[in-house]
Structure 1
Amino acid sequence: MNFEKIEEAYDLLLENVQNIQNRLGTNIYDALIEQNAAYSSGSEDELIHGNNLRLKKLNLTKEEWRRSFQFLLIKANQTEPMQYNHQFTPDSIGFLMTFLLDELVQEEAISVLEIGSGTGNLAQTILNHSQKKLDYLGIEVDDLLIDLSASTAEVMGANIGFAQGDAVRPQILKESQVIISDLPIGFYPDDAIAKRYQVASQEEYTYAHHLLMEQSLKYLKQDGYAIFLAPNDLLTSQQSPLLKKWLKEQASVLAMITLPTNLFGNQSMAKSILVLQKKQDAGIEAFVYPLHDLQSGEHLQAFVADFKKWKAEHAI
């Protein structure tokens, strides 16, 4: 990976986006979508056209593209902050999810469904680093994020599909071997839809992340895995008894990996990685592991070794 090329690509993207933003009077995210279209289809603007020719001559790899776009989104978030659920998943967590996917599934070709694919950064992280051949589909309800992720994927030449839809509502989707989600946290506003679920609250709006977990397993193959980034209070929150009842009946918890709180800004926003399967009868003891430092190579090596040992002991 060439960081000088990434820096140059970032500068060219930023200049084009700011030019488009000033000319159209739009927000920086819509301007980025316009820039992606100009890169793919051409532009009559001399500056934008010239910068895009220079971008093409850089011959960036998919990972160099991803990093360039990521830095641009970080810059954008400083002036026009995205809501918390729309911000991209940290790379270190994406790498952990990729490791889990590669270790858990034995097949070389894997179908993956991401619930709430957002900007597409997590999808691109997994696609760029997985050792498997992935058939990857992301579903996202937000118009802006779908346009952003799809146009970025086109620029990168990434083999990935995105579909717009509210994942809590029934969707026509094939079953996948792996479900992935950085679960959006909050209440789901449509009680009529929520009441169809086992985890539905009778006293208040139901947590959207609970509904998405239940819905996700409907799209999961029987021997597949659901890998969620979920809030630390998942099993202790006010509505957790409803979720735990559903889990006991419908799913097996295979792994729970707690993450450093400094990744999330503050303790209340902290999350853990949760791995589920549809209900199995094997009675596998869950892999529970506290990851305290994702910058420590020694700590991560110990985690990898312990996970592989657990996997071997349980013939997974």
Structure 2
Amino acid sequence: MNFEKIEQAYGLLLENVQTIQNLLVTNGYDALIEQNAAYLSAVHDHQVIEQNNQTLKKLKLTKEEWRRSFQFLFIKLNQTEPLQYNHQFTPDSIGFILTFLLDHLLEKENITVLEIGSGTGNLAQTILNHSQKKLDYLGIEVDDLLIDLSASIADVMKAEISFAQGDAVRPQILKESDLILSDLPIGYYPDDSIASRYKVASSEEKTYAHHLLMEQSLKYLQQGGYAIFLAPNDLLTSPQSDLLKSWLQAEASIVAMIALPSNLFGAQSMAKSIFVLQKKTVQQQMPFVYPLQDLQDAQAMQDFTAKFKKWKQG
């Protein structure tokens, strides 16, 4: 990976996005979608935009160099036009852990993956760029802007991935996957009539959206398949946790719980852990439980991966 090329690409992308913003009097994210379209068409009325895109093409960026360039651009845009918390991209350090789990939980080489709430597509691209498996990857996202961003970025990167727009809590026509993945949004689901169809639905207040998404996700999971969720630390102790645990007991087994350092998250109340579920099977072994203290400590990460591999081997 060439960091000088990433820095140059970021500068070219930023100049084009800011130029398009001024031309169209729009926000930076819509301008990025327009920039991606201009890059793909290779023609633009504005000379600077066209020249910058020609230079971008000459850089011949790898998929990972593209991903890093777009990531830096999102960080810059977020400084002046913040995305809501549930739309922020998953940190790379967590993305690498999720990739490791995917690669070691599933033994076959060809894996179908469904990501619920795929956002800007950064997590998907992280996994696709680093996984040792061959992935058939579909991301589903409800937000118009995010689905346009993720799809346009995937086109620029020539990434082998599909995105679909939809509210994942509502029934979707989707094939069963080997793996479900989600950095779950935290909050309440607004439509009580839809929520009431679920076993985890609360009869006393609005239901947690992340509980509904967990229940719905397992409907798209193959028997014996895995679901990896980034979910609130208090998932099993929150006010609605009894409903969730009752559903879990009937439908799934918790195979792993991995606590993440709280400094990864903007506020303690937003801190998450990794929960790995398996669609109901006869429980063969005790769950893997591990507190990760520092994702930047190479020795600590080696200890984690070694213990997980040993646990997986039984």
Matched residue of 1:282: which SS?
A: coil
- The CA deviation at 1:51 is 0.1
Is the Cα contact below 8 Å between 2:224 and 2:280 reproduced in 1? no
Distance 1:308 1:133 in 2: 20
| Structure 2 residue 27 is matched with structure 1 residue 12 | no
Deviating above 3 A after TM superposition, structure 1's stretches of 4 or more consecutive aligned residues are: none
| Structure 2 residue 260 is matched with structure 1 residue 237 | no
Q: Percent identity?
A: 76
Q: Deviations over 1:222-280 (max 9, x none)?
A: 02100000010111111111101111111100000000001002211110000001111
Give the corresponding residue for 1:300: 301
Give the corresponding residue for 2:255: 254
Q: CA RMSD in A?
A: 0.6
Give the corresponding residue for 2:72: 71
Distance 1:2 1:98 in 2: 22
Matched residue of 1:179: which SS?
A: strand
Structure 1 unaligned regions, length at least 5: none
Give the corresponding residue for 2:154: 153
| Structure 2 residue 11 is matched with structure 1 residue 29 | no
Structure 2 unaligned regions, length at least 5: none
TM-score relative to the length of structure 2: 0.99
Q: Deviations over 1:58-117 (max 9, x none)?
A: 000000000000000000000000000000000000000000000010111100000000
Distance 2:270 2:304 in 1: 23
Q: Deviations over 1:8-42 (max 9, x none)?
A: 00000000000000111100000000000000012
Distance 2:157 2:312 in 1: 35
Bigger shift: 166-175 or 262-271? 262-271
| Structure 2 letter corresponding to 1:143 | D
Give the corresponding residue for 1:40: 40
Distance 2:275 2:65 in 1: 29
1:100-179 → structure 2 map (5 Å cutoff)? 100-179=101-180
| Structure 2 residue 269 is matched with structure 1 residue 268 | yes
Distance 2:73 2:229 in 1: 26
Is the Cα contact below 8 Å between 2:177 and 2:222 reproduced in 1? yes
Distance 1:63 1:271 in 2: 26
Distance 2:218 2:20 in 1: 42
Is the Cα contact below 8 Å between 2:228 and 2:274 reproduced in 1? yes
Matched residue of 2:136: which SS?
A: strand
Distance 1:283 1:59 in 2: 48
Matched residue of 1:255: which SS?
A: strand
- Give the aligned length: 313
TM-score relative to the length of structure 1: 0.98
Is the Cα contact below 8 Å between 2:112 and 2:179 reproduced in 1? yes
| Structure 1 letter corresponding to 2:223 | Q
- The CA deviation at 1:282 is 2.8
